[in-house]
Amino acid sequence: MSINFESKLPNTATTIFTVMSALANEHQAVNLSQGFPDYPADAVLKDLVCQFIKEDYNQYAPMAGVPALLSQISKKIEHSYGWAPDPAKEITIATGASQAICSAISMMIGPGDEAVIIEPAYDSYAPAVIMNGGKTRVFEMLAPDFKVDWQAIRKLINNKTKLLIINNPHNPTGSILDENDLDEVENIVHETGVYLLSDEVYEHLVFDGREHQSILARPGLKERGMAVFSFGKSLHATGWKIGYFIANPFLSAEFRKIHQFTVFSVNTPAQHAIAAYLEGNIDWSKLSGFFQKKRDLLQAGLEQSRFIPLNSAGTYFQLYDYSGISDLPDQEFAKWLTRAFGVATIPLSPFYTSDLDQKLVRICFAKKEETIQRAVERLLMV
Protein backbone atom coordinates (compact mmCIF):
# COMPACT_ATOMS: atom_id res chain seq x y z
CA MET A 1 0.00 0.00 0.00
CA SER A 2 1.44 3.35 -0.91
CA ILE A 3 0.72 6.13 1.51
CA ASN A 4 0.72 9.67 0.25
CA PHE A 5 1.72 11.38 3.46
CA GLU A 6 4.11 14.19 4.07
CA SER A 7 5.18 14.61 7.70
CA LYS A 8 4.94 18.13 9.09
CA LEU A 9 7.86 17.33 11.36
CA PRO A 10 10.02 14.95 9.32
CA ASN A 11 13.11 15.46 11.46
CA THR A 12 11.46 15.02 14.83
CA ALA A 13 12.31 11.92 16.82
CA THR A 14 11.51 10.94 20.41
CA THR A 15 12.67 13.74 22.69
CA ILE A 16 15.83 13.36 24.74
CA PHE A 17 13.71 13.67 27.91
CA THR A 18 11.77 10.51 27.03
CA VAL A 19 14.95 8.71 25.98
CA MET A 20 16.80 9.55 29.21
CA SER A 21 13.86 8.81 31.50
CA ALA A 22 13.34 5.41 29.83
CA LEU A 23 17.06 4.66 30.27
CA ALA A 24 16.87 5.80 33.90
CA ASN A 25 14.00 3.38 34.54
CA GLU A 26 15.77 0.56 32.77
CA HIS A 27 18.86 0.99 34.97
CA GLN A 28 17.07 2.04 38.19
CA ALA A 29 19.08 5.25 37.99
CA VAL A 30 18.56 8.36 40.09
CA ASN A 31 16.62 10.43 37.60
CA LEU A 32 17.88 14.00 37.51
CA SER A 33 17.02 14.31 33.85
CA GLN A 34 13.44 15.46 33.37
CA GLY A 35 12.40 18.69 35.07
CA PHE A 36 9.90 17.65 37.69
CA PRO A 37 9.87 17.34 41.48
CA ASP A 38 10.02 13.95 43.21
CA TYR A 39 8.53 15.37 46.43
CA PRO A 40 4.82 15.77 47.17
CA ALA A 41 2.71 18.77 46.21
CA ASP A 42 1.18 20.77 49.09
CA ALA A 43 -1.49 18.76 50.95
CA VAL A 44 -3.75 21.84 51.07
CA LEU A 45 -3.74 22.02 47.26
CA LYS A 46 -4.36 18.28 46.94
CA ASP A 47 -7.29 18.44 49.37
CA LEU A 48 -8.76 21.38 47.51
CA VAL A 49 -8.84 19.57 44.17
CA CYS A 50 -10.49 16.55 45.82
CA GLN A 51 -13.01 18.86 47.43
CA PHE A 52 -13.95 20.52 44.14
CA ILE A 53 -14.30 17.15 42.41
CA LYS A 54 -16.57 15.91 45.23
CA GLU A 55 -18.59 19.11 45.06
CA ASP A 56 -19.13 18.31 41.39
CA TYR A 57 -17.14 21.00 39.69
CA ASN A 58 -16.72 18.45 36.96
CA GLN A 59 -18.07 20.00 33.77
CA TYR A 60 -16.47 22.26 31.16
CA ALA A 61 -14.90 25.42 32.48
CA PRO A 62 -15.44 28.72 30.65
CA MET A 63 -13.27 28.84 27.52
CA ALA A 64 -10.79 31.44 28.83
CA GLY A 65 -10.67 30.05 32.35
CA VAL A 66 -12.54 29.93 35.66
CA PRO A 67 -13.21 33.59 36.64
CA ALA A 68 -11.96 33.08 40.22
CA LEU A 69 -8.62 31.85 38.91
CA LEU A 70 -8.31 34.62 36.31
CA SER A 71 -8.88 37.18 39.02
CA GLN A 72 -6.31 35.56 41.36
CA ILE A 73 -3.75 35.56 38.55
CA SER A 74 -4.39 39.24 37.89
CA LYS A 75 -3.71 39.99 41.57
CA LYS A 76 -0.60 37.84 41.54
CA ILE A 77 0.79 39.61 38.46
CA GLU A 78 0.01 43.02 39.95
CA HIS A 79 1.80 42.05 43.15
CA SER A 80 4.86 40.78 41.26
CA TYR A 81 5.10 43.18 38.32
CA GLY A 82 3.02 46.23 39.19
CA TRP A 83 0.37 45.81 36.51
CA ALA A 84 -3.01 44.09 36.90
CA PRO A 85 -4.05 42.44 33.62
CA ASP A 86 -7.80 42.50 32.94
CA PRO A 87 -9.03 39.02 33.99
CA ALA A 88 -11.77 39.09 31.35
CA LYS A 89 -9.67 40.20 28.41
CA GLU A 90 -5.97 39.71 29.04
CA ILE A 91 -5.50 36.33 30.75
CA THR A 92 -6.27 32.87 29.30
CA ILE A 93 -5.80 29.58 31.14
CA ALA A 94 -3.97 26.99 29.04
CA THR A 95 -3.14 23.30 29.25
CA GLY A 96 0.29 24.04 30.63
CA ALA A 97 2.69 26.61 29.25
CA SER A 98 3.36 24.16 26.39
CA GLN A 99 -0.09 24.65 24.91
CA ALA A 100 0.08 28.40 25.45
CA ILE A 101 3.39 28.49 23.57
CA CYS A 102 2.09 26.34 20.72
CA SER A 103 -1.14 28.34 20.36
CA ALA A 104 0.72 31.67 20.53
CA ILE A 105 3.14 30.54 17.84
CA SER A 106 0.24 29.25 15.69
CA MET A 107 -1.48 32.59 15.96
CA MET A 108 1.65 34.50 14.89
CA ILE A 109 3.31 32.28 12.30
CA GLY A 110 2.09 31.34 8.83
CA PRO A 111 3.82 29.94 5.72
CA GLY A 112 6.98 31.90 4.95
CA ASP A 113 7.07 33.75 8.27
CA GLU A 114 10.12 33.65 10.49
CA ALA A 115 10.70 33.46 14.22
CA VAL A 116 13.96 34.25 16.01
CA ILE A 117 14.90 31.70 18.63
CA ILE A 118 17.72 31.77 21.14
CA GLU A 119 19.49 28.44 21.55
CA PRO A 120 19.96 26.29 23.53
CA ALA A 121 16.16 26.40 23.42
CA TYR A 122 13.28 24.61 25.06
CA ASP A 123 12.30 21.94 22.60
CA SER A 124 8.76 22.99 21.72
CA TYR A 125 9.46 26.36 20.09
CA ALA A 126 10.96 25.35 16.75
CA PRO A 127 8.51 22.50 15.98
CA ALA A 128 5.57 24.86 16.57
CA VAL A 129 7.08 27.36 14.12
CA ILE A 130 7.73 24.64 11.54
CA MET A 131 4.26 23.03 11.90
CA ASN A 132 2.79 26.38 10.93
CA GLY A 133 4.91 26.64 7.79
CA GLY A 134 7.42 29.04 9.30
CA LYS A 135 11.16 29.05 9.63
CA THR A 136 13.41 29.72 12.60
CA ARG A 137 16.48 31.90 12.68
CA VAL A 138 18.75 30.97 15.51
CA PHE A 139 21.13 32.82 17.79
CA GLU A 140 23.43 30.50 19.73
CA MET A 141 24.32 31.34 23.32
CA LEU A 142 27.52 29.63 24.35
CA ALA A 143 29.11 28.35 27.56
CA PRO A 144 30.15 29.40 30.06
CA ASP A 145 28.05 32.59 30.33
CA PHE A 146 25.26 31.98 27.82
CA LYS A 147 24.89 35.69 27.10
CA VAL A 148 22.69 37.05 24.34
CA ASP A 149 24.35 39.36 21.81
CA TRP A 150 21.38 41.60 21.03
CA GLN A 151 23.16 43.16 18.08
CA ALA A 152 23.38 39.68 16.55
CA ILE A 153 19.66 39.20 17.24
CA ARG A 154 18.93 42.44 15.34
CA LYS A 155 20.79 41.03 12.35
CA LEU A 156 18.56 37.94 12.29
CA ILE A 157 15.43 40.06 11.99
CA ASN A 158 14.16 40.87 8.50
CA ASN A 159 10.84 41.75 6.87
CA LYS A 160 9.61 38.15 7.24
CA THR A 161 10.26 38.05 11.00
CA LYS A 162 7.06 37.98 13.01
CA LEU A 163 8.21 36.78 16.37
CA LEU A 164 11.11 36.87 18.80
CA ILE A 165 10.96 34.17 21.48
CA ILE A 166 12.79 34.58 24.77
CA ASN A 167 12.91 32.31 27.81
CA ASN A 168 13.78 33.88 31.12
CA PRO A 169 14.88 32.33 33.53
CA HIS A 170 16.38 30.02 31.00
CA ASN A 171 16.03 26.27 30.62
CA PRO A 172 18.45 24.49 30.16
CA THR A 173 21.27 26.87 31.11
CA GLY A 174 19.95 28.42 34.34
CA SER A 175 20.95 31.87 33.03
CA ILE A 176 18.72 34.90 33.56
CA LEU A 177 18.24 38.17 31.70
CA ASP A 178 19.00 41.41 33.54
CA GLU A 179 17.49 44.87 33.22
CA ASN A 180 19.88 45.84 30.41
CA ASP A 181 18.87 42.76 28.45
CA LEU A 182 15.21 43.70 28.80
CA ASP A 183 16.04 47.26 27.66
CA GLU A 184 17.58 45.72 24.55
CA VAL A 185 14.53 43.52 24.00
CA GLU A 186 12.27 46.53 24.31
CA ASN A 187 14.39 48.54 21.86
CA ILE A 188 14.40 45.69 19.35
CA VAL A 189 10.61 45.34 19.52
CA HIS A 190 10.18 49.08 18.94
CA GLU A 191 12.81 49.33 16.20
CA THR A 192 11.66 46.33 14.19
CA GLY A 193 7.98 45.83 15.03
CA VAL A 194 8.43 42.12 15.83
CA TYR A 195 6.11 40.52 18.35
CA LEU A 196 7.62 39.05 21.48
CA LEU A 197 6.79 35.74 23.17
CA SER A 198 8.32 35.51 26.63
CA ASP A 199 8.40 32.11 28.31
CA GLU A 200 8.59 32.88 32.03
CA VAL A 201 7.61 29.55 33.56
CA TYR A 202 10.49 29.79 36.05
CA GLU A 203 9.62 33.37 37.09
CA HIS A 204 9.85 32.60 40.83
CA LEU A 205 13.09 30.62 40.65
CA VAL A 206 15.77 33.29 40.65
CA PHE A 207 18.70 33.00 43.05
CA ASP A 208 21.34 34.92 45.00
CA GLY A 209 19.13 37.93 45.65
CA ARG A 210 18.56 38.75 41.98
CA GLU A 211 15.14 39.73 40.65
CA HIS A 212 13.15 38.28 37.79
CA GLN A 213 12.72 40.75 34.92
CA SER A 214 9.29 40.12 33.47
CA ILE A 215 8.17 41.70 30.22
CA LEU A 216 4.90 42.38 32.06
CA ALA A 217 6.67 44.98 34.21
CA ARG A 218 7.31 47.04 31.06
CA PRO A 219 4.44 49.14 29.72
CA GLY A 220 6.49 49.62 26.53
CA LEU A 221 6.11 45.92 25.73
CA LYS A 222 2.36 45.78 26.23
CA GLU A 223 1.48 46.36 22.59
CA ARG A 224 3.54 43.49 21.19
CA GLY A 225 4.48 41.32 24.14
CA MET A 226 2.94 38.00 25.19
CA ALA A 227 3.99 36.08 28.30
CA VAL A 228 3.39 32.47 29.35
CA PHE A 229 3.54 30.94 32.83
CA SER A 230 3.05 27.52 34.39
CA PHE A 231 1.45 26.48 37.67
CA GLY A 232 3.18 23.16 37.12
CA LYS A 233 6.47 24.85 37.99
CA SER A 234 5.30 27.26 40.67
CA LEU A 235 3.07 24.77 42.56
CA HIS A 236 5.32 21.68 42.20
CA ALA A 237 2.58 19.93 40.20
CA THR A 238 3.83 19.51 36.65
CA GLY A 239 1.30 16.76 35.95
CA TRP A 240 -1.65 19.08 36.36
CA LYS A 241 -0.65 20.85 33.15
CA ILE A 242 -2.15 24.22 33.96
CA GLY A 243 -0.53 27.38 32.71
CA TYR A 244 -1.63 30.74 31.39
CA PHE A 245 -1.12 33.28 28.65
CA ILE A 246 -1.13 37.04 29.23
CA ALA A 247 -1.27 39.71 26.54
CA ASN A 248 -3.25 42.82 25.59
CA PRO A 249 -6.95 42.37 24.67
CA PHE A 250 -6.28 42.27 20.91
CA LEU A 251 -3.57 39.59 21.11
CA SER A 252 -5.56 37.67 23.75
CA ALA A 253 -8.64 37.64 21.48
CA GLU A 254 -6.52 36.20 18.65
CA PHE A 255 -4.98 33.67 21.02
CA ARG A 256 -8.44 32.57 22.19
CA LYS A 257 -9.54 31.94 18.59
CA ILE A 258 -6.88 29.22 18.39
CA HIS A 259 -7.33 28.10 21.98
CA GLN A 260 -11.06 27.45 21.61
CA PHE A 261 -10.57 25.03 18.74
CA THR A 262 -7.57 23.20 20.16
CA VAL A 263 -8.43 22.65 23.83
CA PHE A 264 -11.54 24.80 24.29
CA SER A 265 -11.18 24.83 28.08
CA VAL A 266 -8.93 23.49 30.82
CA ASN A 267 -9.53 21.10 33.75
CA THR A 268 -12.31 22.60 35.91
CA PRO A 269 -11.68 21.23 39.44
CA ALA A 270 -7.94 21.96 39.21
CA GLN A 271 -8.62 25.56 38.20
CA HIS A 272 -10.98 26.04 41.16
CA ALA A 273 -8.48 24.39 43.49
CA ILE A 274 -5.65 26.67 42.37
CA ALA A 275 -7.90 29.74 42.68
CA ALA A 276 -8.83 28.80 46.25
CA TYR A 277 -5.19 28.02 47.04
CA LEU A 278 -4.03 31.41 45.74
CA GLU A 279 -6.62 33.12 47.94
CA GLY A 280 -4.44 31.93 50.82
CA ASN A 281 -1.89 34.65 49.93
CA ILE A 282 1.08 32.54 49.01
CA ASP A 283 4.52 34.00 49.60
CA TRP A 284 6.08 33.35 46.20
CA SER A 285 9.39 34.83 47.28
CA LYS A 286 10.00 31.69 49.39
CA LEU A 287 10.34 29.56 46.24
CA SER A 288 13.74 31.00 45.37
CA GLY A 289 15.19 30.10 48.78
CA PHE A 290 13.61 26.64 48.59
CA PHE A 291 15.32 25.86 45.29
CA GLN A 292 18.53 27.75 46.00
CA LYS A 293 19.07 25.42 48.98
CA LYS A 294 18.77 22.44 46.65
CA ARG A 295 21.13 23.99 44.09
CA ASP A 296 23.67 24.65 46.83
CA LEU A 297 23.36 21.11 48.20
CA LEU A 298 24.07 19.69 44.76
CA GLN A 299 26.94 22.06 44.05
CA ALA A 300 28.59 21.59 47.46
CA GLY A 301 28.17 17.83 47.14
CA LEU A 302 29.92 17.80 43.78
CA GLU A 303 32.74 20.11 44.82
CA GLN A 304 35.11 17.15 45.25
CA SER A 305 33.96 15.53 42.00
CA ARG A 306 35.38 15.90 38.52
CA PHE A 307 32.24 17.70 37.35
CA ILE A 308 32.65 21.48 37.06
CA PRO A 309 29.51 23.53 37.81
CA LEU A 310 28.41 26.42 35.62
CA ASN A 311 26.52 29.25 37.28
CA SER A 312 22.81 28.59 37.80
CA ALA A 313 21.15 31.94 38.51
CA GLY A 314 17.62 30.66 38.04
CA THR A 315 15.32 27.68 37.14
CA TYR A 316 15.82 24.31 38.80
CA PHE A 317 18.61 23.27 36.49
CA GLN A 318 22.37 23.48 36.60
CA LEU A 319 24.83 22.65 33.85
CA TYR A 320 27.94 20.62 34.67
CA ASP A 321 31.09 20.40 32.54
CA TYR A 322 32.42 16.84 32.26
CA SER A 323 35.37 17.57 29.95
CA GLY A 324 37.78 16.55 32.72
CA ILE A 325 36.16 13.10 32.79
CA SER A 326 35.50 12.06 29.22
CA ASP A 327 35.85 12.96 25.55
CA LEU A 328 32.56 11.31 24.68
CA PRO A 329 29.98 13.48 22.91
CA ASP A 330 27.38 14.65 25.43
CA GLN A 331 24.56 12.29 24.40
CA GLU A 332 26.90 9.30 24.62
CA PHE A 333 28.28 10.55 27.91
CA ALA A 334 24.81 10.98 29.47
CA LYS A 335 23.82 7.45 28.43
CA TRP A 336 27.09 6.02 29.73
CA LEU A 337 26.67 7.87 33.03
CA THR A 338 23.19 6.41 33.43
CA ARG A 339 24.30 2.86 32.65
CA ALA A 340 27.62 2.86 34.48
CA PHE A 341 26.87 5.04 37.53
CA GLY A 342 23.08 5.11 37.75
CA VAL A 343 22.50 8.85 37.42
CA ALA A 344 20.40 10.18 34.56
CA THR A 345 21.07 13.72 33.29
CA ILE A 346 20.22 15.54 30.07
CA PRO A 347 22.92 16.31 27.47
CA LEU A 348 22.94 19.91 26.25
CA SER A 349 23.41 19.37 22.51
CA PRO A 350 19.77 18.41 21.70
CA PHE A 351 18.81 21.96 22.72
CA TYR A 352 20.76 23.27 19.70
CA THR A 353 19.97 22.91 15.99
CA SER A 354 23.64 22.76 15.02
CA ASP A 355 25.98 20.01 16.01
CA LEU A 356 27.46 21.75 19.01
CA ASP A 357 29.07 19.63 21.68
CA GLN A 358 30.26 21.64 24.68
CA LYS A 359 30.68 18.63 26.99
CA LEU A 360 27.88 19.75 29.28
CA VAL A 361 25.00 17.93 30.95
CA ARG A 362 21.97 19.46 32.64
CA ILE A 363 21.09 18.32 36.14
CA CYS A 364 17.63 18.95 37.59
CA PHE A 365 17.77 19.71 41.33
CA ALA A 366 13.99 19.89 41.94
CA LYS A 367 14.41 16.75 44.04
CA LYS A 368 14.25 15.63 47.66
CA GLU A 369 17.47 16.17 49.60
CA GLU A 370 17.99 12.42 49.84
CA THR A 371 17.65 12.06 46.06
CA ILE A 372 20.27 14.76 45.52
CA GLN A 373 22.54 13.12 48.08
CA ARG A 374 22.12 9.69 46.50
CA ALA A 375 23.03 11.15 43.08
CA VAL A 376 26.02 13.01 44.55
CA GLU A 377 27.39 9.81 46.15
CA ARG A 378 27.30 8.14 42.76
CA LEU A 379 28.71 11.10 40.83
CA LEU A 380 31.65 11.35 43.24
CA MET A 381 32.72 7.92 42.01
CA VAL A 382 32.89 9.00 38.35
Ligand X SMILES: Cc1ncc(COP(=O)(O)O)c(C=O)c1O
Q: Which residues bind ligand X (CB under 6 A)?
A: 35, 96-98, 122, 167, 171, 199, 201, 230, 232, 238, 241, 243
Which residue's CB is nearer to ligand X, number 92 or number 230? 230
CB of 243 to ligand X, least distance (A): 4
Q: For residues 374 and 29, what is the distance between their CA atoms, to the nearest angstrom?
A: 10
Q: Is the CB of 97 or the CB of 302 nearer to ligand X?
A: 97
Report the C-alpha gap between 336 and 87 in whole angstroms.
49
Other residues' Cβ atoms within 10 Å of the Cβ of residue 290: 13
Q: Are 126 and 353 in contact (CB under 8 A)?
A: yes
> CB under 8 Å to 60, separation ≥6 — which residues?
264, 265, 268
The nearest distance, CB 314 to ligand X, in angstroms, is: 11
The residue (of 122 and 146) whose beta carbon lies closer to ligand X is: 122
- Widest Cα–Cα separation across the chain: 62
C-alpha span between 158 and 154 (Å, rounded): 8
On the CB side of 89, CA atoms within 13 Å amount to 6
Q: How far is the CB of 202 from ligand X (least distance, A)?
A: 7
Q: Which residue is nearest to ligand X (CB)?
A: 96
Minimum distance of ligand X from residue 244's CB (angstroms): 9
Judged by beta carbon, residue 164 or residue 376, the one nearer ligand X is: 164
> Closer CB to ligand X, residue 201 or residue 266?
201
Amino acid in position 266? V
- Compute the least distance from the CB of residue 191 to ligand X, in Å: 26
- DSSP letters for 292-307: HHHHHHHHHHTTTSS-
